[in-house]
Structure 1
Amino acid sequence: MSPQEQSGVELLLEPMAFEPAKLYQQSLKEAGIPWTSFAVDNIAEEYQRLSALGVEFSIAPREAGTVMIAVLDDTCGNYIQLMQEM
C-alpha cells in the first residue's frame, strides 16, 4: 500500500513454499516472462521514479507493438511488467 494512497491497491507477495509453484515461477523467470503486468499512465516517469528508489529493470522502457513496456525484478523471483498504451 502506498503511503500517498492509503485506500489504493495493496500488493502482497507470498513466499513460494509449494514446490510445483516454485518450479513454475523459476521457469517463467528463466524464460524472461513477467509474472504479471500493471498499466501505468507514464512509463518514462515510473521508470525514473522506481530506478531512483533502487528498483532494477531487466528491460528499460521500449516500444512493443502498440504499447510501451518495461520489466522490473521484484526481488522475490518474479519479473513484473509495466505497460503504457500509446
Structure 2
Amino acid sequence: MRIHLTSVFVDDQAKAERFYTDVLGFVKKHDIPLGTARWLTVVSPENPDGTELLLEPGDHPAVGPYKDALVADGIPAAAFAVDDANAEFKRLTDLGVRFTQEPLEMDTVITAVLDDTCGNLIQLQQLR
C-alpha cells in the first residue's frame, strides 16, 4: 500500500493552480472539468508519477470552519519536503510569498510555514 493522492481544499482553483505551479514549482498532472469545478492535481517535477496533490474545491459547508480553525491555530494543511529550507524560504520570500513561520531548526528537521493564498498554511520540511 502507498499514498497515491492527497488533497488540500482551496478557495479558488485557478488561483491555486497558479500558486502551486508558478510559485511553488509543481507540475499540473490532471485537469478534468467536473461541472463548475475541476479534478485538478499537481505533482513534483522530480517525481511526475509520484503522489498527486488534488487542489480540491472548498465549497462544502464544513470546509470553511475547518480551514479557519487550522489557520487560527497555526496548523499546516500539508507538508512538503525540501532539500534546503533556508534557500527555499529565500526563493519564495523573493517571489512575495508570506510566511507565518521562518525556518526553525528542531532537532533533525528544519521547518517553515507559508500561506498558500488559498486559505491554507503549508509546512516546508528539510530533514537533516
TM-score, normalised to structure 2, is 0.58
1:58 CA displacement: 0.4
Q: With a CA cutoff of 8 Å and minimum separation of 6, indicate the structure with the bigger relative contact order.
A: 1
Larger Rg: 2
Runs of 4+ in 1 over 6 A off after TM superposition: none
Q: How does 1:13-52 map to 2 (within 5 A)?
A: 13-52=55-94
Question: RMSD of the TM alignment (CA)?
Answer: 2.0
Please list every run of 5 or more consecutive structure 2 residues that lacks an aligned counterpart in the other structure.
1-26, 29-44
The number of residues matched between the two structures is 84
Which structure has greater strand proportion? 2
Q: Counterpart in 2 of 1:74?
A: 116
Deviations 1:46-69 (A, max 9, x none): 011111111110000011232100
TM-score (norm 1): 0.84
Which residue in 1 is equivalent to 2:102?
60
Which runs of 5 or more structure 1 residues have no equivalent in the other structure? Answer: none
Distance 2:47 2:74 in 1: 32
